[in-house]
Each structure stands twice: as C-alpha cells, then as structure tokens.
Amino acid sequence: MQITFASSKDTATRLVARIIARDSFPADLPAHVREGAEAARFAGKAGQVFETWYEEGGRLVRLALAGCGNGNGEALAGHAGTERAGAALAAKYLTSGESALVLDLTGSGLTAEQTAGALVGLSLRSWRWDAYRTKLKDEQKRSLDKVIVIGAPDGAEAAWDVEAAVVKGVEFTRELVTEPANILYPESFVARARERFAGTGVAIEVLGEDEMRELGMGALLGVSQGSVRKPQLLVMKWLGGKPDDKPALLVGKGVTFDTGGISLKPPAGMEDMKWDMGGAGAVTGAMLAIAGRKAKANVIGVCGLVENMPDGNAQRPGDVVTTMSGQTVEVINTDAEGRLVLCDAMTWAQGQFAPDVMVELSTLTGAMMIALGSEHGGLFSNSDALADQLLAAGKDSGDKLWRFPLSPAYDKLIDSPIADMKNVGPRYAGSITAAQFLQRFVNEGVDWAHLDIAGMVWADKPGATWDKGATGYGVRLLDRFVRETREG
C-alpha cells in the first residue's frame, strides 16, 4: 500500500473514509449520512464500516465511516481501535474496484499514534500473495493500492514512518511463511534474507553444513541428514545500541518442511508443515522491523534452517546424537525435530554473543494448539521479569501470549535410560516437556523465554489485520518488546 500525506482533498478520488468513535458522529457530517448510518445500526464499534454514496458539487462521493470503538472493553485506547478501523476499510475496499482512498481525518481529534494505527491496519489487512495465481478474474484482483491522508494531526507522518518499518517486517514474515517448501528451503531462505537486508545495516552471517559439523551440532545435523537440502544457520546482527550493551538474542525454528522424518506424519494436513519455519520467519521479519526503524538496541537474530525428510540416510528412532553442548539425546521420535534444531542454535548463539536475554520462537508442538487455539502464543520462561515484559509487549502489540509452567517434575519426564535426555516425554504436557528440553540448553545467567507459536503462524479464517493464511505473528511482539525494554 502506498501511503501519502496531503494538506487538502484531491477531488479526483471518489472514495473517502472517516474514522468514527463509538456513538460520536462528527458535527460536520451531512445529516442524511448520519441518518443513514444510524438506520443501518452503525454505531462506531471497532471494525464496523458503513458506506453511502452521495453527490456533492456535481461529483459522486463514496463515503465510508469506519468505527474505532470507545476503549471500554472495546478498542479505542492507543492505536488498537484505529487499527481495527483501518483494517476494516482495507478488507472492504481491497478488491472493490477503487484504487485510491482518501482518509479524511479533519477534525477527527485522533492522535498521531492513532493515525499511524489506522495506517498500520490499512496496510496489514491489504497484504496478499498472488505470485502463483495466474488466472485471477478482474473482480478478484486487488484494486486498492493507494491511501491519501488528509487533515492528519501533527507528528502523524513521523509516527507512521516508524510503524511503516514494522509493517514491512510483518509483510516479510508473511512472505516467508507463505512460500511453499519447494521454493523456500534453507539456502533459498538465506538468499531471500540477504536480498531483503541489503542496505538496512543488518550484518548477515551464515554457517553451512561443514562449519556446523566442526562445531559439533549433532542434533541439528541429525534432523537435516535425511534431506537433500543443505542446512543453514542464519545470523542477523543489528547493533543500534551502545557498543558495550549486551545484545538481546532472538532464536527461531526454521524447519522449512516437516514431514516428521522416519516418524512420518499422516498425509492429512501435512501441507501445513511448510510453515514450520514460522519462528524463523518471525525472527527474520522482526530484525527487518527493528533495523528499519533504526532501533537504539543491540539485537541478534539466529535461525536454525533445516528440512525434516525421511530418506535412506535419515536418522532413526532410537538414534543417540551428541549436541554442541556435549549433552546427548536419544531421538525417540524424529518428528520432535524442532527442539533438536533449536538446542544447537541456542548453544552456539549464547557462546558467540553472550546475550543477557534470549527469546526463542517456534511452531514447536501440536499440543500448544490444543491448549490455546489461535488466540495466544504459549510462553515459557525461567524469569518472571522477562515473562512479564513479554506478556506486556503481547498486550500492547496485539500478538498475545499466555504463560505456562516449568518445573523439575516436568523436567524428569524427559530423562533417558541410554542418554542424557530423550527428545519426547509421555503423551501429556507435551508443550511443557518440549520447553523443559530447551531449558537444558540455557546458559547460567541468561534470562530465557520460549514462545510456542504453533497456533499463531497460520490462520484458517481472516482476522482483524490478516486474511486467511500467514499472520506475521511475532514480529510486532518482538518489536514492542525491544522498544519497551531495550531502548531505554
């Protein structure tokens, strides 16, 4: 979406939108518009849209009123309400035939932050990936690609500049998550990141298979050995903070396709496993957002990229692998591969960058979807302070989290008779035992959080700021977390 700010109405654009708070029609609204809106039960609820056409000075106006709520249990506060309003406008007009929309904020009383929120909603909800759709009918094609804001409050453009960088990050994540696994595999993931980070100030470093073997990453390599795709460890460095501030480390699970390996998954729904790199996607998009808005913080993103396939060289259930940390793992189930990839990525990155905080994101367990559905990501942490910061960033960004427990009793469940641990526990508490596994690879003194985002990466139905498909979950969360805790 191309967004511009202008000082006065350009009369060439037919579609005009105004944002209306709950039960508060502006005084200058033509009487017939207000009457029509009330008759249609439009009350300015967040996400409600009312449309009417009328003639004014010899030209036809297509006027849309978009509700932003009242903040009382309904989103007006901050940017949330206007974001819903902007998103509702995008959903309604994306394929409407209109190519431009004037967002008229004259006299609206919106703050700069709320204005930016509306534009975030408009941009995010209009993202789609039509790269492989060659036979779209005209009426299925996107038409709206331009928004002209008039009457914006002071500071709105500057506020939008910051949020626009975050939107770019979310969009990049959605792109990575959407791409199928024949197109996006470890090496092509890295190539696309290199392309996108050119000129952003993010330094990219990549470890290949040989380097990982020398480092002793036996767990990560065990997962990738059944695939012809070569594994990659992608490192993205943004050093916008003070030189001796410790970095925040973000780690992502990047299984570009998860067949389950020899513990093969059933066919129904297996295509979903193209988005088993959603954690890596979120970390990569967050790095683009953070760099794009020139965050005053040191942040390092590390993605473990592999494909989990079952060929003649694939690892077997019962195999014992040695992780880079020296700890050994009995691989009971080759489908519990995410933790095997992450443990080596975490060990290497902590050794390399000495972070004080490590936040790891992964589509780790189906059990997380059973527990939380698609409303919250699961949060596990060894630090109450870090957990609270992430919960707060979740609320503020809309990428919500819910905390789960960790304890020695759960940890015991993954002890193995032949190795230091096994890669799965018993049937119950599957998300927690997965987190316990990861905790065994957290260094002393590091505040760590594991976010199991299995239910959040992909949506079966449209949400407020996304269509069906990739949501971009995690980018805004991580961006908020960095803003609120690392840039003080």
Q: Binding residues for Zn ion, per CB under 5 A?
A: 255, 258, 276, 338
Q: How far is the CB of 458 from ligand BES (least distance, A)?
A: 8
**Residue at token pair 């029609």:** 25
Measured CA to CA, the distance from residue 164 to residue 119 in angstroms comes to 8
Between the alpha carbon of residue 419 and those of residues 42, 209, 319, 332, 441, the distances in Å are 64, 24, 10, 11, 15
Answer yes or no: 265 catalytic: yes
Nearest to 224 by CA among 106, 87, 345, 79: 345
Nearest CB to Zn ion, comparing residues 100 and 364: 364
User: What is the footprint of Mn ion within residues 121-180 (CB under 5 A)?
Assistant: none
DSSP letter assigned to residue 17: E
Q: How far is the CB of 377 from ligand BES (least distance, A)?
A: 12
Yes or no: say if 160 and 123 are a contact pair by the CB < 8 Å rule.
no
Q: How far is the CB of 51 from ligand BES (least distance, A)?
A: 38
Binding partner at 115 among ligand BES, Zn ion, Mn ion, none, C-beta below 5 to 8 Å by kind: none
Q: What share of the chain is helix, strand, coil (3-state, %, to 5)?
A: 35, 20, 45
Binding partner at 307 among Zn ion, Mn ion, ligand BES, none, C-beta below 5 to 8 Å by kind: none
- The count of residues interacting with Mn ion (CB under 5 A) is 3
Q: How far is the CB of 400 from Zn ion (least distance, A)?
A: 22
Binding partner at 454 among Mn ion, ligand BES, Zn ion, none, C-beta below 5 to 8 Å by kind: ligand BES
Q: Coil, strand, or helix at residue 37?
A: helix
Backbone angles phi, psi at 342, to 5 degrees: -65, -35
Nearest to 485 by CA among 325, 299, 263, 265: 299
Q: How far is the CB of 365 from Mn ion (least distance, A)?
A: 9
Site string for Mn ion, 320-349 (x = CB under 5 A): ---------------x-x------------
Nearest to 477 by CA among 28, 188, 51, 169: 169
Yes or no: say if 79 and 116 are a contact pair by the CB < 8 Å rule.
yes
Binding partner at 165 among Mn ion, ligand BES, Zn ion, none, C-beta below 5 to 8 Å by kind: none
Nearest CB to Zn ion, comparing residues 95 and 333: 333
Binding partner at 469 among ligand BES, Mn ion, Zn ion, none, C-beta below 5 to 8 Å by kind: none
Q: Which tokens go with 386?
A: 């870090």
Measured CA to CA, the distance from residue 346 to residue 325 in angstroms comes to 9
Q: How far is the CB of 373 from ligand BES (least distance, A)?
A: 12
Nearest CB to ligand BES, comparing residues 240 and 377: 377
Q: How far is the CB of 258 from Mn ion (least distance, A)?
A: 4
Q: Which tokens go with 156?
A: 């709105």
Residue 102's DSSP bridge partners are 16, 148
- Contact set with ligand BES (CB under 6 A): 258, 272, 276, 333, 335-338, 363, 365-367, 369, 424, 430, 454
Site string for Mn ion, 237-266 (x = CB under 5 A): ---------------------x--------
Answer yes or no: 476 catalytic: no
Amino acid 162 reads: V
Yes or no: say if 360 and 377 are a contact pair by the CB < 8 Å rule.
no
Given the residues 142, 146, 194, 265, the one annotated as active site: 265
Measured CA to CA, the distance from residue 166 to residue 177 in angstroms comes to 17
Residue 60's DSSP bridge partners are 55
Binding partner at 78 among ligand BES, Mn ion, Zn ion, none, C-beta below 5 to 8 Å by kind: none
Give Dmax (Cα) for the chain: 84
Binding partner at 365 among ligand BES, Mn ion, Zn ion, none, C-beta below 5 to 8 Å by kind: ligand BES
Nearest to 16 by CA among 119, 68, 93, 73: 93
Yes or no: say if 26 and 107 are a contact pair by the CB < 8 Å rule.
yes
Yes or no: say if 324 and 304 are a contact pair by the CB < 8 Å rule.
no
Nearest CB to Zn ion, comparing residues 98 and 307: 307
Nearest CB to ligand BES, comparing residues 114 and 362: 362
Nearest CB to ligand BES, comparing residues 157 and 360: 360
Q: How far is the CB of 226 from ligand BES (least distance, A)?
A: 14
Nearest CB to Mn ion, comparing residues 258 and 307: 258
Task: Give the residue at shortest CB distance from Zn ion.
Answer: 258
Binding partner at 424 among ligand BES, Zn ion, Mn ion, none, C-beta below 5 to 8 Å by kind: ligand BES
Given the residues 92, 196, 237, 339, the one annotated as active site: 339
Interaction between residue 319 and Mn ion (CB under 5 A) = no
Nearest CB to ligand BES, comparing residues 247 and 304: 304
Burial class (CB in 10 A: 0-12, 13-18, 19+), 484: middle
**Residue at token pair 């009487």:** 31
Helix (H) or strand (E) segment spanning residue 311: none
Binding partner at 367 among Zn ion, Mn ion, ligand BES, none, C-beta below 5 to 8 Å by kind: ligand BES
Yes or no: say if 233 and 212 are a contact pair by the CB < 8 Å rule.
yes
Nearest CB to ligand BES, comparing residues 57 and 266: 266
Q: Coil, strand, or helix at residue 179?
A: coil
Task: Give the residue at shortest CB distance from ligand BES.
Answer: 366
Active site residues: 265, 339
- Interacting residues with Mn ion (CB under 5 A): 258, 335, 337
